[in-house]
Amino acid sequence: MGQGQKGKDGGKRREDSPAPDDGHKCRVCRFPLLVALLQLLLGVAVTVVAFLTLAISPSLLARETPHWAGIILCLVSIVGFILYCVTYHPDERSSVQFIVKLLYFALCAIGLVVSVLVASFAGYHHAQTSSFSCQPAAEDCLCTLEPHEPIARTFTYEGVGDCLEVTETLTLYHLLQIVLNSVQALVCAVGAFLMWKHRYQVFFAGLQIANFRQWRKV
């Protein structure tokens, strides 16, 4: 009876023991897969809006058509997917894993800075184009901030037949760039924070010494 009871207790203890963690679940928790997907979608969206903006007039500056910012975010997301596929080793014993983690963290930081810069430029150009007073001139569109000033600075948009494309469509595209790059900067900040947290999330709290002393007394 004692052995049977012991066997039952042993069976209960084995049944009550925690189940091993699922490797795939740990990998998803370890790497922010959702962050990489958002970076890819936002990068594609920023690139598409930039090329639509460039289609209005070929004379637009590179800072007004930030397709390069979207391409950078697409590259960051690709590095994130590579990191997700890298075989996990505890304590970063794999040099490939460490290099990809460091590269992803650095690219997230660069993407954050680039997105903030693009959002700032888009905000400036949005305020500028929304205050324009434009008139057509042959196949171009001449815009100025102060139409009554004879020496006011004139902005020439080549290949624009309808000035509404500048005062309305271009203004809308700049507003979209503000929103997309602001969200993009937030996603990059989250990605960089998660990488930092995964590397430095274990902090010393002084509890291990008390547990160690108690273990020695036992």
How far, in Å, CA of 118 to CA of 70, rounded?
A: 10
Domain ranges of the chain: 27-132+162-200
pLDDT for the residue 23 = 46
Q: What is the mean pLDDT of residues 177-198?
A: 90
Are 114 and 69 in contact by the 8 Å Cβ rule? The answer is yes
pLDDT in tens, 81-137: 888 887 665 555 667 778 888 899 999 999 999 999 999 999 999 998 988 888 888
pLDDT for the residue 48 = 95
Look at 154 and 178; give whichever has higher pLDDT.
178
Tell me which residue of 151, 159, 202, 154 sits closest to 56, measured CA to CA.
159
Look at 69 and 214; give whichever has higher pLDDT.
69
Q: What is the mean pLDDT of residues 11-30?
A: 46
Tell me which residue of 122, 1, 130 sits closest to 62, measured CA to CA.
122
Residues written for the chain: 218
Look at 74 and 100; give whichever has higher pLDDT.
74
Q: What is the mean pLDDT of residues 34-51?
A: 93
Name the band, by pLDDT with cuts 50, 70 and 90, for residue 18: very low
Strand residue runs (E) in 73-216: 133-137, 140-144, 154-157
pLDDT for the residue 27 = 46
| Most confident of the following: 71-85, 147-161, 194-208 | 71-85
Tell me which residue of 99, 79, 92 sits closest to 39, measured CA to CA.
79
How far, in Å, CA of 39 to CA of 155, rounded?
A: 34
Q: What is the mean pLDDT of the chain?
A: 78
